[in-house]
Amino acid sequence: MSMFWKLLEQSTLTTGVLAVCLTVTVCIMSVMSLPVPQELMTAEYIILAFFFGAKSQKQGVTHG
């Protein structure tokens, strides 16, 4: 349980859950042929970029 609080404190868990929820929402809307609002797509791109950027920074990945 202490690992849960540590991840929540570092916002890794929060960002991951938010990224998954937004991705699932966009996928469901696309499959149901519903229009996906541009604001939702922008929010998903920002959350995914932050999530993967934070993960690569923690792992010490360098670009270039």
31-40 exposure pattern, b = at least 16 Cβ within 10 A, e = fewer: eeeeeeeeee
> Can you read off the two tokens belonging to residue 38?
């541009």
CA distance 43 to 27: 14
* pLDDT in the model for residue 48: 85
Tens digits of pLDDT across the chain (64 residues): 677 777 666 666 777 888 899 999 999 999 999 999 999 999 999 888 887 887 776 666 555 5
Gyration radius from the chain CA atoms? 14
pTM, two decimal places: 0.66
Closest to 51 (Cα-Cα) out of 27, 24, 17, 26: 17
